[in-house]
Structure 1
Amino acid sequence: MNQLLEEIYSTKLVKDAAGNSINPFPTATPYDIGVVLKEFIQKYNLERTLEVGMAYGLSTLFICQAHQDKGTGIHTAIDPMQNNLWKSIGLLNIERAGLADKLRFMESCSHEALPQLLTKGEKLDFAFIDGSHHFDYTLIDFFYIDKLLHLGGYVVF
């Protein structure tokens, strides 16, 4: 497992750019869920993954680590609040873990970013919807992700 992930889950802390410690829980993805995401992506050799909502980047770390361990794949994370509400901690964690080459980040609302991906003709193997938990936003995320998924692709909420 990634050393940074182990450190975050053992200390229950993430650090911002200034070195300030912040408890990411209960917002962050639980460890066991992260492991399931990572193992699922590896087991089914999923290449093009996406998540809506990045926050502190813990699920992003698991998914990018899966791609790193497989030797292939790219992950797209969409989060309009990464640089202000979340203090760029998710992006910093990806860099700290040495996984920046496995991530494409979109600082945009998902209801704007997902149609852009669709217009470009992109296709996905897997998507994790974990952004806004309001029904209408989640439904819109699912609507567009369904159109982006390859036949037989996976979506997780």
Structure 2
Amino acid sequence: MNEAGARVRDTRRRLRADGPGWTRGPELDFEAVTLPEWDCDLLRDLLIAERVETVVEVGLAYGGSALAIGEALLAVGGTRPRHVVIDPYQSEGFHDTGWKLLVEAGLDRIAELIREPSSIALPRLLAGGTVADAAFVDGSHRFHEVFVDLYFLRRIVKPGGLIVLDDDWAPSVRTAVRYYERNLGWTVIPAAFARGTRIAEGVRTAERMRVSGGTGVTGEPRCRAVRLPTDLREPAFDDFHPFGEDA
């Protein structure tokens, strides 16, 4: 392991052991919001296997997933690794906790933080010619905002690239992704998070977010990875497949 990678791993270890230096409260806010360490490792390994060089991330919060993405980019060792992170609430909502951890890990040399809503930042990235190998989406869970994120990421992520979503168990997230699966040929990669966190049924939202992953846990997968088709032609106007829960 090179020195840069070891620095990131050490930062991740300390975040896992001690938690962040600041949280919004209540006491379990960090555990509820942050992608579990097990899933962070699966995300890292998936991105390494894809040999990614450019990743767009929507939502930074406490920085757990961003550190894993940074570790993957360093492990791949591309000539120009780039990590674009979008979070309009990082300053006021999270006191820059996630960004400070990226700086502490030395990842600010490959990462950039856009402090704007993704509905503004993603169109600008598209207009500027950004092409990503993969994206990780953990921003707003409102249906219309998830849908818009995916609309622009479909144009930013390269044909055949990956989009990974956290909290796929949420009806708003799951419904938004289902449109693209049924109408635009996005393909689920079940093996990517088959061993990841699963969300138990019949419990409150905050509790759902804290269900541990690993073997022997039943319920809905927390994360979903999808692959974009290599052919990004638009469907015909009348080629529409309903995508609601009962469709």
- TM-score of the superposed pair, with normalisation by structure 1: 0.91
**Which deviates more, 69-78 or 119-128?**
69-78
- 1:9 aligned partner: 16
**Which deviates more, 54-63 or 2-11?**
2-11
- 1:102 aligned partner: 110
Query: Pairwise mapping of residues 26-65 of structure 1 onto structure 2 (< 5 A)?
Result: 26-65=32-71
Cα distance in 2 for residues equivalent to 1:48 and 1:42? 12
Residue 68 of structure 1 aligns to a residue in which SS?
A: helix
Cα distance in 2 for residues equivalent to 1:116 and 1:23? 31
What is the one-letter code of the residue matched to 1:29? L
Residue 138 of structure 1 aligns to a residue in which SS?
A: helix
Residue 90 of structure 1 and its aligned partner are, at CA, apart by 0.7
Question: Could you say what the CA RMSD is over the residues aligned between the two structures, in angstroms?
Answer: 1.6
Matched, 1:139 2:150: no
Q: Structure 1: give runs of 5+ residues left out of the alignment.
A: none
- TM-score of the superposed pair, with normalisation by structure 2: 0.59
Residue 109 of structure 2 aligns to a residue in which SS?
A: helix
Residue 22 of structure 1 and its aligned partner are, at CA, apart by 8.7
Residue 70 of structure 1 and its aligned partner are, at CA, apart by 2.2
Q: Structure 2: give runs of 5+ residues left out of the alignment.
A: 1-5, 166-247
Residue 32 of structure 2 aligns to a residue in which SS?
A: coil
Q: Share of identical aligned residues, percent?
A: 28
Cα distance in 2 for residues equivalent to 1:7 and 1:98? 15
Whether the 8 Å CA contact 1:126–1:155 is kept in 2: the answer is yes
- Structure 1 moving runs of 4+ over 6 Å: none
Cα distance in 2 for residues equivalent to 1:128 and 1:88? 19
| Counterpart among 24, 32, 38 of residue 30 in structure 2 | 24
Between the two proteins, the alignment pairs up a number of residues equal to: 152
Whether the 8 Å CA contact 1:15–1:22 is kept in 2: the answer is no
* Structure possessing the higher relative contact order (Cα contacts under 8 Å, 6 or more residues apart): 1
Cα distance in 2 for residues equivalent to 1:132 and 1:42? 26
Whether the 8 Å CA contact 1:68–1:102 is kept in 2: the answer is no
Residue 125 of structure 1 aligns to a residue in which SS?
A: strand
Whether the 8 Å CA contact 1:68–1:99 is kept in 2: the answer is no
